[in-house]
Amino acid sequence: MHASARARLRSQTACRKRRDQSSALRRLRAARRGSAQVNVIINPRETGFVLLDFVEVFGNRNRVILEIGSGKGRFLIASAMEQPDVNFIGIEKSLHYYRVIRERVEKRGLRNVRIVNHDAFPVIQKMINDNSVSESHIYFPDPWPKRREQKRRIIRPEALGEMRRVLAEGGSGIYVTDHREYFDAAKPLLEQFFRVETRIPGPDDPPRTNYEAKYRAEGREIYEVRFWKG
């Protein structure tokens, strides 16, 4: 081979090697960016009410805990930080509180939290698979005290039927309220679907939400129902 041809071949080989290295570096940087940025949002207003595959959503087969009405995210975030090998989904209807949770989750870089800004019932009914949730937590839901509004309560037969469907066999849940009438109405409904146990949190029980901390400071009575499937 002529010397000039060999020189061109060496030059072309070197160029290909540099391009390959540059391409590999771009892929590595993209992978790093992807690993650092996790989409914590599940938005049924954009996607519709699609059935969620939790393995696809979280990228693992860890168990899933559901919180219905996450408020500002105190329970959701603290639990996710304490249990990095557990996945958490929080449903929060308030757009303001949803944005607060999203900001706090993203700030902490929590990879095991997803949040949904929507009314809880259709999300549970249409987006969550049978027997896919290990725990359900419901803290201080709106009591809707007026009789004409009580059909909107989350503790109602059709919603409890869906909660039972998505809860895994042997799974558990907690319902907590400061509203005595709601507690008295909810307990027999929960008993129709689950095995239940009632308790009143004591002073040694740490508050799980901002509402619980506030209501305890005000001296309000707190009522709790724990429930199990199976």
Quickly state the pLDDT bin for 205 (edges 50, 70, 90): confident
Model pTM?
Answer: 0.82
Percent of the chain with pLDDT over 90: 74
Instruction: Tell whether the model's pLDDT for residue 7 goes beyond 60.
Output: no
CATH code, 38-228:
3.40.50.150
CB 134 within 8 Å of CB 168: yes
Catalytically active residues are: 142
End-to-end CA distance of the chain, in Å? 81
Per-domain residue ranges for the chain? 1-36, 38-228
Instruction: Tell whether the model's pLDDT for residue 10 goes beyond 70.
Output: no
> Residue 109 contacts by C-beta under 8 Å, 6 or more apart in sequence?
36, 38
Quickly state the pLDDT bin for 176 (edges 50, 70, 90): very high
Mean pLDDT, the chain, as a whole number? 88
Residue-wise pLDDT for 121-165, tens only, equals 999 999 999 999 999 999 999 999 998 999 999 999 999 999 999
